[in-house]
Amino acid sequence: MKKRQGAESRIHPTVDALGNPLSFHLTPGQASDLDSADQLLPELVADTILADKAYDANQRVIEPLQTKGKSVVIPPKRNRIRLRDYDQHLYKARHLIENFFAKLKQYRAIATRYNKRASNFLGAIYLAASVIWLN
């Protein structure tokens, strides 16, 4: 079987407290979520960062954010030796990122990955995000 080149990629967005898109990073489908964290997290100006379990990494994510004075709300992975506490009530606000993905997938070209080149696909994402932001 022949592998399709460049057809699978993952969108890693950041959104504000209202669910409006702020920035994006596109990675290959097999790449770790932490690769996008290295690109997106230094740009964030928020005091509190909400993220899912994929970003539960002390050295790459949690410690650098805490040294900058930011509070981190990331649930610990199940296989962690020492489980960390996190604000479960505040973590419920992470549904805003899922809502953004639902809005983004209403655009057929993005949901079906119509553009095969990563640069064109990212451009379509920015265009759809602009329309979402304006609504």
Closest Cα to residue 76, out of 51, 48, 56, 50? 56
Q: How confident is the model at residue 7 (pLDDT cuts 50, 70, 90)?
A: low
Decide the pairing of beta strands 48-50 and 71-73: parallel
The arrangement of secondary structure in 9-134, i.e. its CATH architecture, is 2-Layer Sandwich (3.30)
How many CB atoms are located within 10 Å of the residue 129 CB? 23
Q: What is the pTM of this model?
A: 0.80
Query: What residues contact 74, with CB distance under 8 A and at least 6 apart?
Result: 49, 50, 51, 52, 53, 55, 56, 61, 62, 84, 86
What's the pLDDT tens digit per position in 16-48? 999 999 998 888 888 888 888 888 888 888 999
What's the pLDDT tens digit per position in 62-103? 999 999 999 999 999 988 888 889 999 999 999 999 999 999
Report the distance separating Cα 75 and Cα 56, nearest Å. Answer: 7
Ordered by start, the domain boundaries in the chain are: 9-134
Query: Within 13 Å and on the Cβ side, how many CA atoms surround 61?
Result: 22
Report the distance separating Cα 30 and Cα 25, nearest Å. Answer: 14
Report the distance separating Cα 103 and Cα 88, nearest Å. Answer: 25
